[in-house]
Structure 1
Amino acid sequence: MRRRSVCHLGAATTLAALVGTPGWARAQTQPPELLNLRQLAQAQMRFFGLLIYDIRLWAQSQVDAQNWHQQVLALELEYARSLSGREIAKRSLAEMRRQTDIGAEQAQRWLSEMEAAFPDVKAGDRISGLNEPGEAIVFFVNGRLQKRITDPLFGRLFLGIWLAPQSSEPGLRSQLLGGAGGGR
């Protein structure tokens, strides 16, 4: 699977947004749910060469690769194709299980929560997950509040799909955390 490199964003990206930059490097308008954060890294998720989504890491400051779950941060996924919300939820649960054992009752509860959080998506749709450390994860769909899940373990495991050492996509993890100044 080939992924594009992470880029650090700052003044140059802001300038690029004003003058227009072609391709994936163009800056986007900051999503309203992420106004107190800055974009630190970006990567792409591909499956058999097909672009599934662009993923962006947002935070207030550098992200520590070991303690990312204790920081206010968000992951924003911008989908490149149509996907079923139910399938997104099922795949998310399978990826969460890579990090720890999840009992059947807990898994069913979390699957139901994710099915409520994730609608069917089409190309251009965005889902953002905002980590409130030790409290909750808040999901936004295209900038609108969709669901708040007040379970810190759920939030850590969900974001861990991309940020935990057990991620099934270690290269993507490295791009996100390496681009966020957190190292490995």
Structure 2
Amino acid sequence: MIPLAAPVCANVWREQLPQARAIGSGDLRWFGLKIYTARLWSEQTRFDPESSTSPFALELTYHRSISREQFVKTSLDEITRLFANRYSAATLKRWEADMQRAFTDVNAGDQLIGVYLPEVGCRFYNSRQLLAEIRDPEFAKAFFAIWFDERTKDTGLRSQLLGSRK
């Protein structure tokens, strides 16, 4: 039996985006295996990641188990690939510690939700609670660029998230 409070808790991140609607969604696959389903939530009807001055959320629903360490390593690798030497080793080390605090190990069915807060940073939630707030706007931009930068590794997923048709 599901507790009555479950639906409220599951949407705790929605307090940041009360009018948000799903813009697009798609699956990340690696060697044919479905890793997660991503869904972009925004209050804007035409979402533009390059000029977004409004909060948005990226919801990831996992289909496989992934460790916090792997999530952090992959995120840092992608930020470094996208931005080369833009960020110092000290900045990347600080961001690594922030992500270690913000992320959790996930299993199939688990969700992690990142909420982008312009000029503030971001918040990370699981389906039950706030996990961490990172008050660093530059980190937030670099982190969400993993999915929304034009140079992302998965341009098909980016297009689907942005609501574009292939």
Task: Provide the residue aligned with 1:64 in structure 2.
Answer: 48
| Aligned partner (choices 31, 35, 39) of residue 22 of structure 2 | 39
Aligned 8 A contact 1:55 1:76 in 2: yes
Task: Compute the displacement of 1:34 (Å).
Answer: 2.1
Taking every aligned residue pair, what percent have the same amino acid on both sides?
Answer: 36
Task: Compute the displacement of 1:61 (Å).
Answer: 1.5
Task: Compute the displacement of 1:93 (Å).
Answer: 0.8
Task: Compute the displacement of 1:65 (Å).
Answer: 4.3
Matched, 1:106 2:104: no
Aligned 8 A contact 2:12 2:130 in 1: no
Task: Compute the displacement of 1:47 (Å).
Answer: 0.4
Per-residue displacement from partner, 1:115-160 (whole Å, max 9, x unpaired)? 1111111011100000110111000012310000010010011111
Query: Gapped runs of 5+ residues in structure 1?
Result: 1-29
| Aligned partner (choices 36, 54, 66) of residue 83 of structure 1 | 66
Aligned 8 A contact 1:33 1:143 in 2: no
Matched, 1:48 2:15: no
- Structure 1 runs of 4+ off > 2 angstroms? none
Task: Compute the displacement of 1:97 (Å).
Answer: 1.5
| Aligned partner (choices 138, 146, 149) of residue 153 of structure 1 | 138
Partner of 1:97, secondary structure, is helix
RMSD: 1.6
> What TM-score do the two structures reach when normalised by structure 2?
0.85
Query: Gapped runs of 5+ residues in structure 2?
Result: 1-9
> What TM-score do the two structures reach when normalised by structure 1?
0.77
Task: Provide the residue aligned with 1:10 in structure 2.
Answer: none
> Superposition pairs for residues 136-151 of structure 1, below 5 Å?
136-151=121-136
**Closer/same/farther in 2, CA of residues 87 and 52 from structure 1, 3 Å limit:** same
